[in-house]
Structure formats: structure tokens, C-alpha cells
Amino acid sequence: MKQSYDKQASVEVFSGTLWEAEMVRSLLEAAHIANFMKNSLLNVHMYEPIQSEGAKVIVLEKDKDEALQIVADYISNLKK
């Protein structure tokens, strides 16, 4: 039976610059976690992705725990 995603809750797992959000999305995709980005300021800073704040990475509720662990690992590796 085909699973319907339109009735599943989604949650934000990361918020930061456009560049950081794209890195997180890449890590989530490598882990086979469906995600999308929401960013109301994207068009204003399209050519300055490092300065564009407010990019949010969203996943399905069922993937939240695994996604948050990937985000935590990403942030931890940035501090090394």
C-alpha cells in the first residue's frame, strides 16, 4: 500500500544560514531522510547564501529523532 505523506506531521530540525541548511539537507538525504527547506528570505539573499539567515530544514515527525542526531553530529563537527 502506498504511504500518504500529506497527512503526516512535519517538524523543524535545523535553522541557520542557507549554506548551513544545504549542508544539513545533504546529510539527511545521505541518510535517506526525506526533507525540505523553508526560507522566506531566500530571494533577498540568493547570491549571499552564507549571510542568508532563517533557512529552516523540515522533516517528517517519524524521522525527527534520527534527523536531530544527524544535526547534532554536524554541529559538533563544526566545533572541532
Each of the 80 residues of the chain gets a pLDDT tens digit; together they read 455 556 789 999 999 888 899 999 999 999 999 999 987 555 555 555 555 577 899 999 999 999 999 999 999 998 87
Q: C-alpha cell of 19?
A: 549554506
Give whole-number Cα distances, 26 to 10, 20, 22, 67, 74, in Å: 18, 10, 6, 12, 11
Q: Which domains does the chain have, with CATH numbers?
A: 10-78 (3.30.70.1530)
The reported pTM is 0.76
**Dist. CA 25–CA 71, nearest whole Å:** 9
* Residue bearing cell 517528517: 60
